[in-house]
Each structure stands twice: as C-alpha cells, then as structure tokens.
C-alpha cells in the first residue's frame, strides 16, 4: 500500500525521479507527476485507467511560472487569474511546445491552475517543473477528498500520498476558456458563476452532459458509484424500494426524511449551506457506496449557488 504522510521533501524527490504522488488540493486530491516528463505522464493515464483523449490539468505555484508554459493570456482571462488564483479555477490557455502533447491530448490549449492549498503550494514552489494532475480516482469513479480515499483505490499502484486533510471545497475546479471574445465555462465547479460574472460579465455555460464533448473529460457518465445510483423525489423512490424489500441508502440535501426506512443516510447540509454540501458530497457518495445497501437514492439541490455544480455531479453519477 502507499505511505500516507506530510513529508513534502519526500514528495518532491519522488516527483523528481518521475514517480507519481497523491496531491492534496482545496478541490479534490490529484494524482500528480512532472508535467514536462512524458514518461511520468504516461504513468498517470495507466494508473487511472484514463483514456488518452482526456487531457490533464497542469498545476503551478505562481502566475510567473504559468507564463513559462503558455503564450500570452487574453485580457479577460487575465482578470480572472488575478481575481481567483490561487483557487478552484482552471483556465484554458494556448500552450507552448514545452508542454508534451500527451498532457493536452493533442489540443493546442492547456488547462492550468494554481491550487489554494498550503502543502500543494509549498511543493509546487519547490519544484522546477509544473505538475500534471487529474483527480486521483480510477477513471469514471467518484473524486477523492481525503488521503484515505486515494489510498483505498490507488494505494497499490503508487508509493506516496501527501496528507493535506479534508479538501475544503470538495468540487473540482471551474474550467473556463474564451472563444471569439466570449468567455465560456466548460465545467461548473468550485468557483461560482456569479463571482466570475462579476469580473467578466455574462458567460456562456456549455451544456454539461454532451456525449461528444468539447472538453473531452465531460462524459455523461462520470463520478459514478459502483452501486445503482438513482436521482429523483426521495419520498417516491424510497416507497418503491421499501415495498420491494431492497436495502437502500439515501443522500439528501438538508432533510433527514426520518420516516423513510433507509438503512443508511447522508445529509449534505442540515443548515442548507451550499459550501458545506459541496464539501460533503463526494465523501458521502463514497460512504454509501461502501456500506451494504443495494441501491443509493439521492435528490437534486436547488439550482442556485453551488447547486448547479453539485447537480451536475449527481446527474452524471446517475447516468447509465
């Protein structure tokens, strides 16, 4: 199994010798490698069982470092960089040739971000290369928000996981780019749309569940538990399963639904706090997936604040 620890020097040494390290960030844990070393990047795809058409996000510790790997940045995107970095936002920028084609799956744009996590930051600033890091889960499964989640699924394939505690945000970064002067959101995430619009005006949110996506990782079925995951009205769903004698778990926003005969229940935020709900989402889904229920029943959140981004994850988890 992988060692879990807080030894940044050890992580640095492993990364410098072309190995993978589990990386805490404020959004989710990443599976990181030297982004400039194609052989190390190959290991990421193999370890996650990720198709090579799904490009990776490159992480750096500063805007100055990003300019070593990307061409000039559009004025609108620069405003977002100034406002939200370090933070849960990824920008699509024109790449310089130093970034291997494997990282971008052959695209001209590279996804970059500066994570807002003290350990990740210290590590990144100590390295003389950026880190490619997708979420540290097997392709298609729920993203990890604790070191133990990484251990549970990839622990037999990597040697070290940096333990940075529970991820504060709990949703992946918001992915933003610009096409013909129009700012576009390709993935809803940890930076809120309304905050983005305060900086650059109205943005276009691309439909999030295309099966032939522009952002290739945005496949319809993603973030999926292994158990059947059903999304809808909890009262109706629970009634159906209770009458057929199937053991079910429920994942609800704020209410406990004490009258429903669930074997297990997770409430994302009793006080209807969207930040808290986001932070608890993936850990809650994982928990229910690992208990002995046969099916997980869940409800959508109101489409406000992080509700849209959370519903996006729930719908994908429920997709066939």
Residues 27/171, Cβ–Cβ less than 8 Å:
yes
Of 25 and 135, the one with the shorter C-beta distance to Mg ion is 135
Backbone phi and psi for residue 162, each to the nearest 5 degrees, phi listed first: -75, 130
92 is a site residue for ligand TXA (CB under 6 A): yes
Reference 73, options 86, 92, 55; nearest CA is 92
Integer angstrom CA distances of residue 144 from 31, 139, 255, 277, 290: 10, 12, 25, 15, 14
Shortest CB 260 distance to ligand TXA, Å: 33
Kindly determine how many residues on this chain lie close enough to bind ligand TXA according to the rule CB under 6 A.
28
Query: Of 103-111, 127-135, 176-184, 192-200, which part binds Mg ion (CB under 5 A)?
Result: 127-135
Q: Hey, CA dihedral for 114, 115, 121, 123, is it positive or negative?
A: negative
Residues 306/195, Cβ–Cβ less than 8 Å:
no
319 is a site residue for ligand TXA (CB under 6 A): no
- Cα–Cα distance between 274 and 107 in angstroms, integer? 34
Of 305 and 313, the one with the shorter C-beta distance to Mg ion is 313
**Interacting residue with ligand TXA among 130, 134, 155, 284 (CB under 6 A):** 134
**Interacting residue with Mg ion among 32, 90, 104, 135 (CB under 5 A):** 135
**Interacting residue with ligand TXA among 4, 107, 199, 267 (CB under 6 A):** 107
- Cα–Cα distance between 134 and 143 in angstroms, integer? 10
Q: Hey, CA dihedral for 57, 62, 67, 68, is it positive or negative?
A: negative
- Cα–Cα distance between 257 and 265 in angstroms, integer? 9
Shortest CB 168 distance to ligand TXA, Å: 12
Among ligand TXA, Mg ion, none, what does residue 262 contact (CB within 5–8 Å per kind)?
none
Residues 289/227, Cβ–Cβ less than 8 Å:
yes
Of 109 and 263, the one with the shorter C-beta distance to ligand TXA is 109
Of 11 and 238, the one with the shorter C-beta distance to ligand TXA is 11
Backbone phi and psi for residue 80, each to the nearest 5 degrees, phi listed first: -65, -40
Cα 221–chain centre separation = 14
- Cα–Cα distance between 288 and 298 in angstroms, integer? 11
173 is a site residue for ligand TXA (CB under 6 A): yes
Shortest CB 313 distance to ligand TXA, Å: 11
Of 108 and 235, the one with the shorter C-beta distance to ligand TXA is 108
x-or-dash string of contact with ligand TXA, 41-70, rule CB under 6 A: -------------xxxx-------------
Residues 298-317 that bind ligand TXA (CB under 6 A): none
> How many helices (H) and strands (E) in the chain?
11, 15
x-or-dash string of contact with ligand TXA, 17-36, rule CB under 6 A: --------x-xx-x------
Shortest CB 12 distance to ligand TXA, Å: 18
Closest residue to ligand TXA: CB criterion: 217
Helix, strand, coil share of the chain (percent; to 5): 35, 20, 50
Interacting residues with Mg ion (CB under 5 A): 135
Binding site for ligand TXA (CB under 6 A): 25, 27-28, 30, 54-57, 88, 90, 92, 104, 107, 109-111, 115, 133-135, 172-173, 175, 186, 215-218
């Amino acid at each position: 199994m992988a060692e879990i620890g807080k030894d940044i020097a050890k992580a640095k040494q492993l990364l410098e010798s072309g190995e993978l390290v589990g990386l805490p960030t404020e959004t989710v844990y990443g599976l990181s490698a030297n982004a400039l070393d194609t052989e190390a990047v190959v290991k990421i795809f193999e370890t996650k069982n990720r198709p090579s058409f799904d490009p990776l996000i490159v992480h750096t510790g500063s805007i100055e470092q990003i300019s070593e790997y990307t061409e000039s940045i559009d004025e609108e995107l620069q405003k977002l960089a100034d406002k939200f970095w370090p933070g849960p936002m990824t920008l699509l920028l024109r790449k310089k040739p130093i970034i291997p084609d494997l990282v971008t799956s052959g695209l001209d744009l590279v996804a970059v971000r500066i994570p807002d996590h003290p350990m990740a930051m210290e590590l990144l600033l100590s390295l003389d290369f950026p880190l490619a890091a997708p979420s540290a889960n097997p392709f298609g499964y729920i993203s990890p928000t604790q070191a133990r989640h990484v251990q549970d699924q990839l622990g037999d394939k990597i040697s070290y996981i940096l333990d940075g505690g529970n991820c504060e945000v709990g949703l992946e970064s918001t992915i933003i780019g610009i096409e013909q002067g129009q700012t576009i959101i390709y993935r809803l995430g940890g930076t809120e749309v309304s905050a983005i619009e305060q900086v650059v005006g109205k943005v276009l949110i691309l439909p999030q569940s295309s099966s032939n996506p522009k952002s290739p990782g945005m496949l319809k079925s993603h973030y999926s538990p292994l158990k059947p995951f059903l999304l809808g009205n909890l009262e109706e769903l629970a009634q159906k399963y209770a009458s057929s004698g199937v053991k079910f778990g429920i994942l609800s926003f704020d209410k406990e639904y004490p009258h429903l005969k669930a074997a297990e229940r997770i409430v994302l935020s009793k006080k209807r706090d969207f930040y808290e709900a986001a932070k608890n989402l993936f850990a809650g889904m994982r928990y229910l997936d690992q208990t002995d229920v046969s099916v997980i029943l869940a409800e959508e959140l109101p489409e406000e604040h992080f509700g849209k981004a959370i519903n996006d994850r729930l719908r994908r988890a429920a997709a066939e």
